[in-house]
A = this chain, B = another copy of it.
Amino acid sequence: MNDQNEQSNYDVKKYRTPDGAPADIVMFTLTKRERKTVTKTLPLRELRVMLIRRRAWPFAGKWALPGGFSRDDESLYETAMRELKEETGVVGRHLEYLSVYSDPGRDPRGWIISHAFFALVEEEVLEKRQAADDAGEVGLFTIEEALEELDLGFDHRDIIADAYRRIQEKMLQTTIARKFLPQEFTLSELYQVIKAVVPDFEEPNFIRKITSTRSRKGILEEVRDENGNPVSSNQYSQRPAQLYRFLDNVPRLSIYS
């Protein structure tokens, strides 16, 4: 029998092995800022990324993504969930795998292969959390700040750039907008959320397209009360606006049809 066919002959330490496999999390949130105007109006929404200031070597003092090393009893998804909770206090939000970062030399601590995730969180969840800890060590930055102004540790600028591209794509092709909205929302709110993530999205006939084109049936439904009457809200506008909620249907997109 071939001696490679025996477990007892297998030596897991024959070659050098990685020094760690962390999960790093790009946590996106939409901040809402009240606007002081004469009449009711939508708050300003801005896409922001959470960063923490590093205390330890390497890159001590620099801003970087929250994250930490995976353990041998958990999947990387579980690592990301755990670190998200430990480092930022956020629990159970949308968390999705992005990519792996493995260029030799990317981490001065050794051979460290990092797995990036991105999370989407409503601002309210963060506000509770932030009050609870050391304010100077956690920051919410706009994408422009994170990508152009800050000097980030590791290759985290690349990771954030990739995550931004991914979230823009998903914002247009899926219904992840729901992660930044309450259960029931107006179409202006939805439009504003999309534009906050994809600034060059323009759709003058947005309301009509989303409400009355056959090909988009199944994305949204009107909210109705127990008598079947449409429910509207005038929280953000003079004239009340119809409330909608997301359904689970996402049309299949194709460049060929």
A residues with a Cβ closer than 8 A to B are 2, 4-7, 9-10, 12-13, 15-21, 55-58, 60, 69-77, 97, 99-100, 102-104, 108-111, 113, 115, 172-175, 194, 201, 203, 206, 209-210, 216, 219, 250-257
Query: A209–B257 contact, CB under 8 A?
Result: yes
Q: A255: which of B12, B16, B97, B175 is its contact (CB, 8 Å)?
A: B175
What secondary structure prevails in chain A residues at the interface with B? loop
Report the separation of the CA atoms of residues A255 and B216 in the bound assembly, to the nearest whole angstrom: 7
Contacts A7-B58, A21-B18; A173 near B255 (Cβ below 8 A): yes
Report the separation of the CA atoms of residues A100 and B12 in the bound assembly, to the nearest whole angstrom: 20
Report the separation of the CA atoms of residues A139 and B113 in the bound assembly, to the nearest whole angstrom: 31
Contacts A20-B18, A172-B253, A173-B254; A76 near B57 (Cβ below 8 A): no
Report the separation of the CA atoms of residues A250 and B173 in the bound assembly, to the nearest whole angstrom: 14
Cβ contacts A to B, 15 pairs, < 8 Å:
A4-B55, A4-B57, A4-B60, A15-B20, A17-B21, A18-B20, A70-B102, A70-B113, A74-B104, A76-B100, A97-B100, A172-B256, A203-B257, A209-B256, A216-B256
